[in-house]
Chain A
Amino acid sequence: AQKITQTQPGMFVQEKEAVTLDCTYDTSDQSYGLFWYKQPSSGEMIFLIYQGSYDEQNATEGRYSLNFQKARKSANLVISASQLGDSAMYFCAMLGRGGTSYGKLTFGQGTILTVHP
């Protein structure tokens, strides 16, 4: 079974500062994918960044980067130069590729990020 843990229910950051959102995972699969999604209050889930389990380099997408530490089973999201529009719920998720987890996206509990001006 897969499990995603986000230990920060809420985070605060000052505008233009960087912030790290934590995510740890547990899986017995050798191959898997890790995702981060942003969900504003409007409800839409916005894909931010993806890291494959075999990728040796950390993924980056604009102001978003994923700090992938496979041995520690962590996949933290780093947002640089925070903007007011970054205030939202952030979900870490894993896509399984083996057994009963195949094709299923498992989400963590989410972290609410608030950016202060």
Chain B
Amino acid sequence: DTEVTQTPKHLVMGMTNKKSLKCEQHMGHRAMYWYKQKAKKPPELMFVYSYEKLSINESVPSRFSPECPNSSLLNLHLHALQPEDSALYLCASSHSGSGVNEQFFGPGTRLTVL
């Protein structure tokens, strides 16, 4: 299984809602990532988990809260988002946070904040 899955595919939420994005991989990878991508722009790194511990937080606002319950799962909890947070949110995984290993991406969640 060489797949990263993400749910939901699409999400529309109000600024007062609380929602979560989910990401799962079964490739035995020990590093997982969240990226944010605006239309026609490159992905921007948000968070990196290595061996289930948060290793990189790219100064992301606290309304985004990551969680890594185990080595296969990665969540992104959303609360009190702003319309400018509307974007494609991509999850990725790699063999480890170190070494030059390709990152495998999921299909993304398209988030719209009203």
State the CA gap A109–B40 with chains docked (Å): 8
Supposing A43-B107, A43-B108, A97-B100 touch, asked if A103 and B48 sit within 8 A by C-beta, the answer is: yes
State the CA gap A65–B90 with chains docked (Å): 26
Interface of chain B residues 99 through 114 with chain A (CB within 8 A): 99-108, 110
Contact A45 B98 (CB under 8 A): no
Give which listed residue, A47, A50, A104, A109, contacts B42 with CB less than 8 A: A109
Contact A104 B90 (CB under 8 A): no
State the CA gap A94–B90 with chains docked (Å): 17
- Residues of chain B contacted by A105 (CB below 8 angstroms): 33, 45, 103
Give per-residue flags for A32-70: 1 if the beta carbon is below 8 A from chain B beta carbons, else 0: 110101000011111100101000000000000000000
State the CA gap A47–B45 with chains docked (Å): 17
**How many residues on chain B are close to A (CB under 8 Å)?**
27
In the complex, whether B20 has a CB less than 8 A from a CB of chain A is no
State the CA gap A43–B111 with chains docked (Å): 12
Interface of chain B residues 2 through 34 with chain A (CB within 8 A): 31, 33
Q: Size range of the interface on A?
A: 20 to 34
Q: How far is the CB of B64 from chain A (nearest CB, A)?
A: 18
State the CA gap A63–B55 with chains docked (Å): 36
Supposing A43-B110, A103-B50 touch, asked if A52 and B42 sit within 8 A by C-beta, the answer is: no
- Residues of chain B contacted by A45 (CB below 8 angstroms): 43, 90, 92, 105
Supposing A42-B107, A44-B106, A45-B105 touch, asked if A108 and B42 sit within 8 A by C-beta, the answer is: yes
CB nearest to B43 among chain A residues: A107
State the CA gap A110–B37 with chains docked (Å): 12
Supposing A91-B42, A103-B48, A109-B42 touch, asked if A47 and B104 sit within 8 A by C-beta, the answer is: yes
- A selection of 22 A-B contacts at a CB cut-off of 8 Å is A31-B100, A32-B100, A35-B102, A37-B105, A42-B107, A43-B88, A43-B107, A43-B108, A43-B110, A44-B107, A45-B43, A45-B90, A45-B92, A46-B105, A47-B105, A95-B100, A103-B56, A105-B33, A107-B43, A109-B41, A110-B40, A110-B42
Known A43-B107, A44-B106, A91-B42; further 4 A-B contacts with Cβ < 8 A: A45-B105, A52-B100, A107-B43, A109-B42
